[in-house]
């Protein structure tokens, strides 16, 4: 909108540039492929919008007024930038149509995703390529938000059959594309035993009390934390369970792994994240299988039609699901 809130038409700006170049209303109208009376109305409308005359019509050819000379480079710049913005918007739309948008929790984006993606690519139909991929790696809650806002086509996360999430099954579907386990682990003592051990009260020697086990816990935004609370929440801290105290809390399993390796406490970590550390002895198991939690690696998608590239990936992922 311009002076007096009068609308401005882009055609007027383009007409202005052509007339400034030709100096002739008839030739300019022909170049713009419109009738001369309509072309003249466009120029007058632009002059009314600006508030001054832009052309001296007493000269032959018509010439720009002082105001017109000042305005010409500004209008040329505006038109060029609008055309560039339009081209970029179209290119972005074309890119989005063939790209894949993933949201993944931090641990899976670092460990599971690269290998899994390679397997998916190897099973695509001949001639089909994955195309460009956009990945957002964040907490489970943030990834859920991206899916709910339709800003991602797929969500890769850990899940458990007894733990619900905010993705309504009437609007989102998922397949299990992998299996994992949450293991309680600790830094080792010099003899290779865990610095901190998780043992149920019933397995302890009678008459002996032990200090609470320091736990490196997950924050509320963590999907693994939600699973931990739902599956082991009642066992931890109960008289016949394990007395614990949270000494550190974070959303990301990678940070908890680092803190565990520093000897700060016990962390329940996905085996996919700590395979190398277990093999090298940098981390050791802090309990028997009693405190291990089996989990799934899940791929979620909305129950709406996606791009051809996204649908092709889903068909392969669903066909190879566990």
Instruction: For Cα atoms 102, 106, 107, give the angle at the middle one, nearest 5 degrees.
Output: 115
Q: Rounded distance, CA 192 to CA 311, Å?
A: 48
pLDDT digits (tens, 9 = 90+) for 298-315: 999 999 998 888 998 999
- The burial class, CB within 10 Å (0-12 / 13-18 / 19+), for 65 is middle
pLDDT at 211 over 70: yes
pLDDT of residue 276: 95
> pTM for the full model?
0.67
Q: Is 106 helix (H, G, I), strand (E, B) or coil?
A: helix
First-to-last alpha carbon distance for the chain, in angstroms, is 58
Nearest to 198 by CA among 269, 263, 294, 292: 292
Q: Can you give the pLDDT at residue 114?
A: 93
**Residues 223-266 pLDDT 10s:** 999 998 898 877 665 544 678 889 999 989 999 999 999 999 99
CA-nearest of 127, 149, 123 to 138 is 149
98 pLDDT band (50/70/90 cuts)?
low
Distance CA 207, CA 121 (A): 59
Domains, in order of start, for the chain? 3-96 (1.10.10.10), 98-178+297-319 (3.40.190.10), 179-296 (3.40.190.10)
Q: Quick check: 18 and 79 in contact, CB under 8 A?
A: no
Q: pLDDT confidence of 4, banded at 50, 70, 90?
A: low
pLDDT tens, position by position, 114-153: 999 999 988 887 566 677 899 999 999 999 999 999 999 9
Strands 244-250 and 213-218: parallel
Q: Which residue has the tokens 């566990």?
A: 322
Q: Give the span between the Cα atoms of 222 and 268, in whole angstroms.
A: 12
């Amino acid at each position: 909108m311009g002076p007096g809130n009068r609308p401005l038409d882009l055609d007027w700006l383009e007409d202005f540039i052509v007339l400034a170049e030709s100096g002739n209303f008839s030739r300019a109208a022909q170049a713009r492929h419109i009738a001369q009376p309509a072309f003249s109305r466009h120029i007058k409308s632009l002059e009314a919008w600006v508030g001054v005359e832009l052309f001296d019509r007493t000269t032959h050819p018509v010439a720009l007024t002082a105001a017109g000379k000042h305005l010409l480079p500004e209008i040329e710049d505006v038109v060029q930038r609008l055309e560039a913005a339009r081209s970029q918007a179209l290119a972005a739309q074309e890119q989005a149509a063939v790209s894949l948008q993933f949201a993944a929790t931090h641990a899976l984006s670092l460990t599971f995703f690269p290998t899994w993606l390679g397997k998916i690519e190897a099973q695509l139909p001949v001639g089909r390529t994955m195309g460009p991929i956009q990945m957002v790696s964040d907490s489970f809650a943030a990834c859920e938000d991206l899916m709910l806002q339709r800003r991602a086509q797929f969500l890769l996360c850990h899940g458990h059959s007894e733990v619900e999430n905010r993705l309504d099954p009437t609007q989102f579907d998922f397949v299990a594309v992998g299996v994992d386990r949450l293991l309680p682990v600790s830094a080792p003592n010099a003899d290779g035993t865990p610095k901190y051990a998780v043992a149920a009260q019933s397995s302890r020697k009678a008459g002996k009390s032990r200090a609470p086990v320091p736990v490196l816990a997950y924050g509320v935004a963590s999907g693994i934390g939600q699973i931990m609370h739902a599956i082991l929440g009642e066992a931890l801290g109960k008289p016949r369970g394990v007395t614990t105290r949270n000494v550190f809390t974070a959303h990301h399993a990678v940070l908890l792994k680092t803190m565990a390796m520093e000897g700060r406490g016990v962390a329940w970590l996905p085996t996919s994240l700590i395979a190398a550390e277990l093999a090298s002895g940098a981390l050791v198991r802090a309990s028997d299988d009693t405190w291990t939690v089996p989990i799934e690696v899940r791929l979620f998608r909305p129950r709406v039609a996606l791009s051809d590239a996204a649908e092709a990936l889903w068909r392969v992922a669903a066909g190879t699901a566990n």
